[in-house]
Structure 1
């Protein structure tokens, strides 16, 4: 049977690995994939498509020189613009070139990339063409929405190779250090890769049929979580397998016994993560909601591989899998005393003994430390950052934007607010908008297209009316990504809502940022309690207790708050980073609580098992001793895999990588090692109330 299971996995799931490299085919990284569902800006974005505004993404081509551009320079740029306009992905005549209004050494023209074309590939082709058609003495850069989209897509391009390689190598190094065996780490990595192949095929099929939505960030997190979770479950299984080999001669029976022993904790652990991730379906932000089912598929695949393929492979390899440190059968068997168990695990035996002597001191000290760090959590800045700040490396779109601003002023390429309103109230809407001090101008979208870049605000004479609505571009006085612009959008919405019958809606870049922030805040208040309830409901039947689950949930919430506080100090005061993406706190919470409680599940499920045989105090100490090494190793592995997200040069993923990696280490080294055991010991057997473990004498033994 073991051979059959192994062959089914290798021959069945192995070839599915090709789908991992094909996930980019069904990946969507356009702004719509991240918009808040049902928000006003999202509705405007959809309506704007009827005005042909969304039929493509504009790419702004910026030329610059050391000195003022000459007529000959502009003529050469015009020739390049005409050749760019002949490309199949250019859907409109190229607008421009326009000489700089603030700096005569700069000029620009705009080409719209067709919505039917791949923006990243089209911009790459555009940049190659501009390099071929280089104008002597001039520097050229591509920016604008299409330029940013292409550079964002390129940043995610490292997911398929770099991210996966870094994560696997990090895990392999840790496993070799833990097991000091050449074969066992290979089996564990193989289990993770098989799980990744299976999950890649399932996610590909689901995304291709429209069941789930996949973007770059969810794909990166999928890779990391599959490798990390599968390795964690494998570590737990292997540790129990080693124990079983010390009391059983027959390796296949030891593997079966180990698999049976850890099935409960792994199912509870994986189930907690899956259900916690599925809670993200309650979110309104598209990128948040789409993450849940994608990563849940990966965790399910990780569980399946770790609990079927790996036990079968261990049974086939026998004791040789631990070579050169293969365990031998011991005569003491299951009758080993607590003192013997502690002595056989020197480091963790000393830790357990120390915690056992002064439990109240330990949990009070740990709580004080976590609370001190958590005090900074309310200051965590999740207000978002401008699109020029989301990259951690130098990219052409950002450099081009700076050149454009130098040549045409701060509001030259400022994405205007978009107002959709009833056509019969057009004059009143425009007058109201232009009457606000925060507004520079308001211009109509006409039959001829968007307002001319160089024309006066009132140049539009024939507004385009679609289904009784008109589209107005409102240029704000403040930079579109500033807090002043956000306040201006709020004011504009408030004023336009007072026009009866106008049904005015305000969208655009700034409005989207505002709606994203407010939606993310709403999602946090909805999803967080839901996750906590789910975790509690999973722990109650597993531990047969009401108090222990409350203790574990409270400990993990405190751990999350402390992590957020440390993140505040690091991001704001040490690194000076801009505000985090609004979804970072929610993502960090879901991963830290769902994953962090895993280690407490591993500990407390073993503690309950030992308590039934040896009483509460001895049960907790034995559990801490025998699980200390494996849980610490699992935590380090998971922290290392999440830290690998930092290789993707995006601010959002860097911040998330640190928070989850650091938080996992806090859960592993502080909460699970000291806080939870110490609290459990100080609370006594009441921690198991009202289950069977509560009814045992605290000092009884088997």
Structure 2
């Protein structure tokens, strides 16, 4: 064994191990002391769309030309089973007067309901008289925390004026209840869900990783070592990302931090286990723990570095995205994995050097000579040398490669075919728990009024002096429109007119989003009929539905670009690492097949097992980047073992031993990584539940199907052709192909 490993001497030598530990501890402490925390730099209202998008342009025009037209509404939904009373409406008028005389923070305007007679208010009740909706407009530039400040003031004012708390009352009771919905209520609730999930997610993730490590390795010290490494890495990552965010280089939000936590503990623990397992194997053959550790570093550092670099590059590909939520993930996630990879190659070896064999207590790995000496010292019989464990999976792979490839492709292909049945949604409300205030309020509006009142579309047209007075009637005649407001004239450009259009459906639904091009075409046709030149340049559509339409088209564009880029980057790295076009090709293809299989199986679980009617539209791209990058980690680790053993033995024997050597650690790592992503399924946020389920399923497919069976079986079938165009001379006799086996 070659113990001359420079990295091992630098980070895990007799003195350097303490220096390494001290450097990491000092870095985490000093950075946390002098740099801002990433949690303190969250920005949850960062725009997802660029200035060139039609809905953003409409927003700019509305803000300039139509005072209040670009403000965001909070819809206060007042409800009493059996009907609202005159006293209830008088209280609503009192609150309106209070908002007029003493606006809450970040409020821009509110309808003067207190100036309207009681009969006028009654005319705006729902048909059964049980529900009334009053809007309050807020500054669009205010983030969720500032909006929440204003809404909380409204709740306090209502409680003081009404003598009771309608916002705390059950919406299905005969007492007066109130809920805040609309864009403001939805934004506050969405941010609150992610913010409240951070601590619970961290505790659940740490607890699960610790429990799995204890269950798998039955060693308390070993279970803590990866968590210590991740903890130190997290102590460095948080301040570094916080500093980058404070400088304006990156933007972080609650959702990114939540997923980053899971990724860090899952992937970080995997990298630690790759090194720890190799160290444990060598301790059974090498008396010197230092020599064993240097050999473990030498044997696994390349695969760990390659695995980490693959994930980093795949995540950095998200920088190509134009949709803000995708783009914002790139740097925080890649920096996290990069720092965790460095910790796995420096801090973990140092910790293993400090604890040595005691890391595995009470099941300490020893050489046969050490066991004999220990037995003699205690006056016990010399233990027999245990027979090598039978490698059933490796033996099966080299004996039945055609059967395994056929069976794996059929199973994975069938699951992948199920992915074609997936239905997507861009309705953020469907991600909320049923008892969330904004969702309850929206449900009341949908039941008692038109759901389109929740988020009307703003149709802005430039008449250029032409008579477009018939546009309102044209819009009203559309079968998907329930109501069209009176046109408002532009403040600076009198040729501009804004029509507020309410859909006859959920404005956040995919069905409503698909109507945006039709709505635009109807407005353009009206302009053309009036004689306006270039009517396509004189129509803008704003509002939540238009924003979501632009978000979908932008996200689709990003997926079409990023998916091939990620595949290309990973293929290039594999080619450079393995120097084989053939191996690169089937490793990439198997992971892509595994991804589509994960989508299909995940959909079956979510749809038939958990009752989901659709999954969030952003999930396929997120899942692809994570699954393809992380799934390739296991292939790299196993193939690295086969490639090294191939230098000393026939290929089929190398495959058999490579599968056996890596099976336990990859199984352990896969269970831990899948478990950490599965933690997301315990949260009350459907988008994270769906992402967690699909990603966890994909990791398990990689762990138990692709890595132990499909990839080595293909390698066995291809024989020496797997190294093409590189050359690899046969070692010994026999075993060069499945046929000769």
TM over 0.5: yes
Are 1:150 and 2:191 an aligned pair? no
From the superposition, tell whether residues 421 and 357 of structure 1 become closer, same or farther in structure 2 (CA, over 3 Å): same
Are 1:312 and 2:347 an aligned pair? no
Aligned to 2:294: 256
From the superposition, tell whether residues 372 and 343 of structure 1 become closer, same or farther in structure 2 (CA, over 3 Å): farther
Shift of 1:20: 11
Are 1:367 and 2:394 an aligned pair? no
From the superposition, tell whether residues 55 and 521 of structure 1 become closer, same or farther in structure 2 (CA, over 3 Å): closer
Aligned to 2:280: 242
Shift of 1:296: 0.7
From the superposition, tell whether residues 90 and 201 of structure 1 become closer, same or farther in structure 2 (CA, over 3 Å): closer
- Provide the rounded CA distance (Å) in 2 between the counterparts of 1:249 and 1:210: 52
From the superposition, tell whether residues 698 and 496 of structure 1 become closer, same or farther in structure 2 (CA, over 3 Å): farther
Work out whether residues 37 and 285 of structure 1, in 8 Å CA contact, stay in contact via their aligned partners in 2: no
Shift of 1:677: 1.0
- Provide the rounded CA distance (Å) in 2 between the counterparts of 1:13 and 1:225: 19
- Provide the rounded CA distance (Å) in 1 between the counterparts of 2:215 and 2:96: 59
From the superposition, tell whether residues 437 and 113 of structure 1 become closer, same or farther in structure 2 (CA, over 3 Å): closer
Aligned to 2:377: none
Aligned to 1:212: 250
After superposition, the C-alpha distances for 1:525-548 in whole angstroms (9 at most, x for unaligned) are 211111111111111121121111
Where 1:392 maps in the other structure, the secondary structure is coil
Q: 1:102 aligns with which of 127, 147, 151?
A: 127
Q: 1:377 aligns with which of 405, 415, 419?
A: 419
Superposed counterparts of 1:112-511, under 5 Å: 112-114=137-139, 115-116=141-142, 118-134=146-162, 137-330=175-368, 343-346=387-390, 349-382=391-424, 384-411=425-452, 413-422=453-462, 424=464, 427-428=467-468, 431=471, 433-434=474-475, 436-438=477-479, 440=481, 457-458=485-486, 460=488, 462-465=489-492, 469-497=496-524, 499=528, 500-502=533-535, 503=537, 504-511=539-546
Are 1:545 and 2:545 an aligned pair? no
Q: 1:82 aligns with which of 97, 121, 137?
A: 97
Aligned to 2:3: none
Work out whether residues 36 and 515 of structure 1, in 8 Å CA contact, stay in contact via their aligned partners in 2: no
Where 1:109 maps in the other structure, the secondary structure is strand
- Provide the rounded CA distance (Å) in 1 between the counterparts of 2:94 and 2:476: 41
Shift of 1:615: 2.6
Where 1:141 maps in the other structure, the secondary structure is strand
From the superposition, tell whether residues 506 and 596 of structure 1 become closer, same or farther in structure 2 (CA, over 3 Å): same
Where 1:195 maps in the other structure, the secondary structure is helix
Are 1:601 and 2:641 an aligned pair? no
Deviates more, 1:428-437 or 1:163-172: 428-437
From the superposition, tell whether residues 94 and 496 of structure 1 become closer, same or farther in structure 2 (CA, over 3 Å): closer
- Provide the rounded CA distance (Å) in 2 between the counterparts of 1:418 and 1:279: 35
- Provide the rounded CA distance (Å) in 2 between the counterparts of 1:507 and 1:194: 46
Are 1:45 and 2:89 an aligned pair? no
Aligned to 1:449: none
Deviates more, 1:416-425 or 1:322-331: 416-425
Shift of 1:611: 0.7
Are 1:33 and 2:68 an aligned pair? no
- Provide the rounded CA distance (Å) in 1 between the counterparts of 2:330 and 2:612: 27
Work out whether residues 38 and 243 of structure 2, in 8 Å CA contact, stay in contact via their aligned partners in 1: no
Work out whether residues 107 and 407 of structure 1, in 8 Å CA contact, stay in contact via their aligned partners in 2: no
- Provide the rounded CA distance (Å) in 2 between the counterparts of 1:45 and 1:357: 65
- Provide the rounded CA distance (Å) in 1 between the counterparts of 2:61 and 2:109: 23
From the superposition, tell whether residues 82 and 258 of structure 1 become closer, same or farther in structure 2 (CA, over 3 Å): farther
Shift of 1:81: 3.2
- Provide the rounded CA distance (Å) in 2 between the counterparts of 1:331 and 1:425: 98
- Provide the rounded CA distance (Å) in 1 between the counterparts of 2:469 and 2:311: 49
Aligned to 1:524: 559
Deviates more, 1:605-614 or 1:469-478: 469-478
Aligned to 2:77: 62
Work out whether residues 230 and 303 of structure 1, in 8 Å CA contact, stay in contact via their aligned partners in 2: yes
- Provide the rounded CA distance (Å) in 2 between the counterparts of 1:260 and 1:87: 67
From the superposition, tell whether residues 368 and 429 of structure 1 become closer, same or farther in structure 2 (CA, over 3 Å): farther
Structure 2: unaligned runs, 5 residues or longer: 1-15, 114-120, 165-174, 371-383, 737-741
Structure 1: unaligned runs, 5 residues or longer: 333-339, 444-456
After superposition, the C-alpha distances for 1:360-390 in whole angstroms (9 at most, x for unaligned) are 21111111111111111112212x1423312
Work out whether residues 666 and 703 of structure 2, in 8 Å CA contact, stay in contact via their aligned partners in 1: yes
Work out whether residues 391 and 650 of structure 1, in 8 Å CA contact, stay in contact via their aligned partners in 2: yes
- Provide the rounded CA distance (Å) in 1 between the counterparts of 2:34 and 2:48: 24
Shift of 1:141: 1.6
After superposition, the C-alpha distances for 1:397-451 in whole angstroms (9 at most, x for unaligned) are 111122234444433x2422223333525743862753652464886xxxxxxxx
Work out whether residues 107 and 138 of structure 2, in 8 Å CA contact, stay in contact via their aligned partners in 1: yes
From the superposition, tell whether residues 485 and 700 of structure 1 become closer, same or farther in structure 2 (CA, over 3 Å): closer
From the superposition, tell whether residues 18 and 578 of structure 1 become closer, same or farther in structure 2 (CA, over 3 Å): farther
Where 1:428 maps in the other structure, the secondary structure is coil
Work out whether residues 591 and 660 of structure 1, in 8 Å CA contact, stay in contact via their aligned partners in 2: yes
Shift of 1:55: 6.5
Work out whether residues 273 and 665 of structure 2, in 8 Å CA contact, stay in contact via their aligned partners in 1: yes
Shift of 1:49: 3.4
Aligned to 2:691: 656
Where 2:501 maps in the other structure, the secondary structure is strand
- Provide the rounded CA distance (Å) in 2 between the counterparts of 1:312 and 1:604: 27
After superposition, the C-alpha distances for 1:45-72 in whole angstroms (9 at most, x for unaligned) are 3443334547653222222223333333
Aligned to 2:610: 575
- Provide the rounded CA distance (Å) in 2 between the counterparts of 1:573 and 1:516: 28
From the superposition, tell whether residues 224 and 76 of structure 1 become closer, same or farther in structure 2 (CA, over 3 Å): same
**Structure of greater Rg:** 2
- Provide the rounded CA distance (Å) in 1 between the counterparts of 2:47 and 2:683: 19
How many residues matched?
675
- Provide the rounded CA distance (Å) in 1 between the counterparts of 2:683 and 2:17: 39
Shift of 1:517: 2.2
Superposed counterparts of 1:638-657, under 5 Å: 638-657=673-692
From the superposition, tell whether residues 36 and 651 of structure 1 become closer, same or farther in structure 2 (CA, over 3 Å): farther
Where 1:516 maps in the other structure, the secondary structure is helix
After superposition, the C-alpha distances for 1:272-304 in whole angstroms (9 at most, x for unaligned) are 111111111222221112112221111111101
Where 1:693 maps in the other structure, the secondary structure is coil
- Provide the rounded CA distance (Å) in 2 between the counterparts of 1:606 and 1:520: 39
Shift of 1:608: 0.3
Superposed counterparts of 1:550-561, under 5 Å: 550-561=585-596
Shift of 1:125: 4.3
Where 2:500 maps in the other structure, the secondary structure is strand
Deviates more, 1:647-656 or 1:479-488: 479-488
- Provide the rounded CA distance (Å) in 2 between the counterparts of 1:130 and 1:642: 42
Aligned to 1:447: none
